[in-house]
Structure 1
Amino acid sequence: MRRPEIDLSACNGCGACIAVSPTVFSFNDLGFIQVADLEFYPEAEVDEAIALCPEDCISWTE
């Protein structure tokens, strides 16, 4: 299954991915973006988050 992945070393924490797909992305207790553990990831939402990410730090992984 494909899963979104965030390169936290490049992420600036802008929250654009959360605005696009709050069921997939959220802030954790330390203030970093995290990916939810889901059985299915809405491909269109994740693709939009990837396109809108100013740091290009979101990608799909197998």
Structure 2
Amino acid sequence: MPVEASCHCGPVRLIVQAAPSEITECNCSICRRYGVLWAYYPKSAVTFEPAPPATHTYIGMIAR
């Protein structure tokens, strides 16, 4: 069963084809506040929708 998530502002979704086999619980103040759990996948296992240019401006701002 695919797992879907989205970025904070919503227009970009990511999809992986299977649930993670392992998750990590971070104990920093932000992750604790929001109940965040982390999963790690190889880049080839993740599909992004929509693909760039939806992230072009954001990525450009980070690269500065």
TM tier relative to shorter chain: under 0.3
- Larger relative contact order (Cα-Cα within 8 Å, sequence gap ≥ 6): 1
Q: TM-score, normalised by structure 1?
A: 0.26
Which structure has the larger Rg?
2
